[in-house]
Amino acid sequence: MKILSIIGASTFGNTTEVMRYFKLQLEKCGGYEFEDLYLQDHKIDFCTGCHNCIMLGEEKCPHYLTVKEIEDKMLQADGVILATPGYMFSVSGIMKNFLDHVAYNCHRPKYFGKKIFLISSCTKWQEDGVFIPMKTWAQGAGFDLCGSMYIDMMPFPYSESELEKRRNKVNEAAFSFDKILKTKTEIKPEFSRIMIFHAFRTMSAMFPKVMQADYRYFSDKKAYDKNSKWYIPAKIPFFKNFMAGIIEKKMKSSIMSMVDQEKSEKADGVFRNKL
């Protein structure tokens, strides 16, 4: 199995040390080929907020070729690890910039069947803020989120007993990830992910001239068919699908009450309201 680690940190910091030990434990399980991808080696300019990737297609991003190189590697991998230090109660700036560039996947997910694990060198107080951006993207992009782990690595010498606590935590996380990687799992999306499908399907159908890329995506997925329940075949309980359908209709009605229909029909591509 091929494991791709995408690291939003320096090659000599705490995150790299945690990653080194995590991979060492995975290696003991056998059957893995690793590739480390440090985002600092892939010069992606800051996201400009043009929304081209979402509305027109990811190929319209001014930084498309560099981002696509990384996405191609994720598509070829069996498992992906996102690793970042905790900076100001969030991910590192370079990781955030990467997530901004691939955020369109939350509209048009493609990583179904891929498994992902999240790692951070941060404190307990930073944990939620660091993992929310990565979890939100990973689940929205179609990944099977297999877990997350933070390790606090303070800038002073730990005692051997403290180091052993951290080694044990990494060992447990690595062996858990190994077990999930080697187990075939059935796709069972949570209700929130079912709702996202319904939401973007509805909006793209309502505004095909604005959400052009989404409209093409959902058309290719045959998502506008009456019996379509999700992006791909998956186990969708009747009640969850029924409730999502009700909410979808209410959402459509709510949006329509806010829309200038004449402007909507004339819109072409990215649209910005003027106050």
pLDDT in tens, 199-257: 999 999 999 999 999 999 999 999 999 889 999 999 899 999 999 999 999 999 999 99
Q: Give dist(CA 251, CA 229) in Å, integer.
A: 17
Decide if 141 contacts 110 (C-beta within 8 A): yes
**73 belongs to a structural domain:** yes
Q: Give dist(CA 102, CA 121) in Å, integer.
A: 23
Q: Give dist(CA 139, CA 248) in Å, integer.
A: 20
CATH number at residue 80: 3.40.50.360
**In total, how many domains does the chain have?**
2
Q: Are residues 143 and 197 in the same domain?
A: no
Q: Give dist(CA 275, CA 264) in Å, integer.
A: 17
Other Cβ atoms within 10 Å of 94 Cβ, number: 18
Q: Give dist(CA 81, CA 16) in Å, integer.
A: 12
The residue among 154, 181, 208 that closes a domain is 181
Dihedral angle sign, alpha carbons of residues 81, 137, 110, 236: positive
pLDDT band at 264 (very low <50, low <70, confident <90, very high): confident
The residue among 159, 181, 203 that closes a domain is 181
* Phi, psi dihedrals of residue 227, rounded to the nearest 5°: -90, 5
Strand ordering across the sheet containing 79-85: 33-38, 2-7, 79-85, 115-121, 144-150
136-162 mean pLDDT: 95
- With a CB cutoff of 8 Å and minimum separation 6, the contacts of 126 are 86, 89, 120, 150
State which H helix or E strand residue 218 sits in: helix 212-220
pLDDT at 186 > cutoff 90 = no
126-149 mean pLDDT: 96
Q: Which among 173, 65, 41, 50 is positioned nearest to 119, based on CA atoms?
A: 173
Q: Are residues 176 and 196 in the same domain?
A: no
Amino acid residing at 264: S
Q: Which among 59, 77, 107, 65 is positioned nearest to 6, based on CA atoms?
A: 77
Q: Give dist(CA 51, CA 230) in Å, integer.
A: 24
Q: What is the pTM of this model?
A: 0.93
**273 belongs to a structural domain:** no
**30 belongs to a structural domain:** yes
Q: Give dist(CA 40, CA 68) in Å, integer.
A: 16
Q: Which two tokens stand for residue 178?
A: 């190994």
**271 belongs to a structural domain:** no
pLDDT tens-digit series, residues 17-41? 999 999 999 999 999 999 999 999 9
Q: Are residues 250 and 139 in the same domain?
A: no
The terminus-to-terminus CA distance of the chain in angstroms comes to 52
The residue among 123, 155, 181 that closes a domain is 181
pLDDT band at 87 (very low <50, low <70, confident <90, very high): very high
